[in-house]
Amino acid sequence: MSRQVSFLQPEAGVSESDIAVPLAHRMRPRTLSEVTGQDELTRPDSWFSAMLKEGRAISCIFWGAPGVGKTTLATMMADAAGVPFTHLSAVSAGKAEVQQVVRQAKEQGKTWLLFLDEIHRFNKAQQDVLLPYIEDGTLVLVGATTENPSFSLNNALLSRCRVIVLKSLQPSDIESILQRAATFLQQEAPMFNVESDALKWLAAGSDGDARYALNALEALYESDQKRSWDKDAVKAQGMRRAARYDRDGDSHYDLISALHKSVRDSDADASVYWLARMLEAGEEPLYIARRLIRMATEDIGLADPKALNVALDAHRMYEILGSPEGEQGLFETAIYLALAPKSNAAYMAEKRARRLARETQQTDVPTHLKNAPTRLMKELGHGAGYQYAHDAEDAVVTQQHFPEGVNAELYKPVDRGFERTLRERIHWLNERKGRGDKS
Could you report the per-residue pLDDT of 266-294, keeping only the tens digit for each? Answer: 999 999 999 999 998 888 999 999 999 99
Q: What is the pLDDT of residue 13?
A: 45
What is residue 16's predicted lDDT score, i.e. its pLDDT?
A: 42
What was the pLDDT predicted at 57?
Answer: 94
**Exposed, middle or buried by CB within 10 Å (0-12, 13-18, 19+), for 376?**
exposed
Reported as a pLDDT band with limits 50, 70 and 90, residue 437 is low
**Whether residue 14 has pLDDT greater than 60:** no
Burial 297-322 (b: 16+ CB within 10 A, else e): bbbbbbbbeebbebbeebbebbeeee
The pLDDT of 292-299, averaged and rounded, is: 96
The rounded distance, in Å, linking the Cα atoms of 157 and 76 is 23
Return mean pLDDT, the chain. Answer: 88
Residue 71: closest CA among 128, 13, 7: 7
Other C-beta atoms closer than 10 Å to the C-beta of 342 total 23
Query: Model confidence at 241, in pLDDT bands (50, 70, 90)?
Result: low
Q: How confident is the model at residue 10 (pLDDT cuts 50, 70, 90)?
A: very low
The continuous run of DSSP H or E covering 194 comes out as strand 193-194
CA gap 212, 338 in Å, rounded:
37
Orientation of helix 196-204 relative to helix 210-223, angle to 10°:
140
Q: Supply the pLDDT for residue 246.
A: 58
The pLDDT of 34-63, averaged and rounded, is: 93
Among the listed ranges 208-222, 234-248, 271-285, which one has the minimum average pLDDT value?
A: 234-248
- Which domains are present in the chain? 31-165 (3.40.50.300), 171-235 (1.10.8), 250-339 (1.20.272.10), 345-432 (1.10.3710.10)
d(CA 23, CA 436): 78
Phi-psi region of 429 (alpha: psi -120 to 50; beta: other; left: phi over 0): alpha
SS3 266: coil
232: buried, middle or exposed (CB in 10 Å: 19+, 13-18, 0-12)? exposed
Q: 218: part of which helix (H) or strand (E)?
A: helix 210-223
Q: Which conformational region is residue 208 in: left (phi greater than 0), alpha (psi within -120 to 50 degrees), or beta?
A: left
